């Protein structure tokens, strides 16, 4: 049995993507619009959202620029969507940031910013939309984390723990709201070529494009999965590593990353 209701027909589906201006978010937006969805696009860079919206019929796209860490802006955007659409079928919390950080270059200010974007912002989204979704007994939320949240990794001193927290958040959320009729999806990408991962100065195994990532996400929705992870040839290996005892895990990761 699928853990969520499979979504195969996107025609007329009302989808709000928070973090839609670049990378996976932008590619997912284009794929969903081509599939017939009505889309609300949010991110800080409103000019990129407007440029994307211009590619599609105006009645299918709502542009709502905002900073995901701004709770008041989130609430205002949600009111706008409720007034315009009467609700929402899916909210994708895609917004993110990335700063490679290790114990040798820990920057407290940058660390706090990452955690605001990675963890505090999704919680603000939940606070904003959950009361209405629960009242309707319909709709769903997709939280984007990363395979970097599976276990500790070098140069991921803040990014990894933030992603691990989102994984735990999605699991807890699923257990609570799925019996009330809501869908919850956890999206865990591996390495995807985006402006954020372009900062990496190390080899990225099984790197895929943002367009490939968007297609993988739609396949996960169609199968009714809870966790949508990709590319499988990479993420399945990391899932096996999660099962190792610490002595073996630490030794293997050191060998791979040194």
∠ Cα 231 150 181 (to 5°): 80
Q: What is d(CA 122, CA 50) in angstroms, rounded to the nearest whole number?
A: 24
DSSP per-residue codes, 191-222: -EESTTGGG--S--TT-EEHHHHHHHHHHHHH
The residues that are catalytic are 159
Q: Are 43 and 49 in contact (CB under 8 A)?
A: yes
Are the C-beta atoms of residues 61 and 30 closer than 8 Å to each other? no
Please say whether the beta carbons of 191 and 234 come within 8 A. Answer: yes
According to DSSP, the residues that pair with 18 across neighbouring strands are 42, 93
């Amino acid at each position: 049995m699928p853990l969520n209701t499979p979504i195969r027909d996107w025609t007329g589906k009302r989808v709000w993507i928070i973090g839609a201006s670049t990378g996976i978010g932008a590619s997912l937006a284009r794929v969903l619009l081509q599939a017939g969805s009505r889309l609300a696009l949010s991110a800080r860079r409103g000019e990129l959202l407007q440029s994307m919206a211009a590619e599609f019929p105006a009645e299918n796209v709502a542009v709502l620029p905002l900073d995901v860490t701004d709770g008041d802006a989130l609430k205002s955007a949600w009111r706008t969507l409720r007034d315009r659409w009467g609700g929402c079928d899916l909210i994708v919390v895609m917004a993110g940031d990335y700063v490679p950080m290790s114990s040798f270059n820990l920057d407290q200010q940058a660390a706090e910013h990452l955690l605001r974007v990675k963890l505090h912002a999704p919680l603000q989204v939940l606070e904003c939309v959950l009361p209405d979704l629960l009242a309707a007994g319909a709709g769903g939320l997709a939280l984007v984390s990363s395979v970097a949240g599976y276990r500790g990794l070098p140069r991921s001193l803040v990014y990894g723990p933030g992603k691990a927290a989102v994984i735990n958040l999605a699991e807890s959320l699923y257990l609570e709201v799925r019996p009330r009729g809501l869908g919850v999806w956890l999206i865990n990408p591996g390495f995807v070529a985006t402006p954020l991962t372009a900062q990496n100065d190390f080899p990225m195994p099984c790197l895929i494009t943002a367009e490939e990532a968007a297609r993988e996400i739609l396949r996960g929705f169609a199968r009714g999965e809870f966790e949508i992870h990709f590319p499988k040839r990479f993420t399945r290996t990391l899932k096996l590593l999660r099962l190792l005892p610490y002595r073996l895990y630490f030794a293997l990761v050191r060998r791979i990353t040194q």
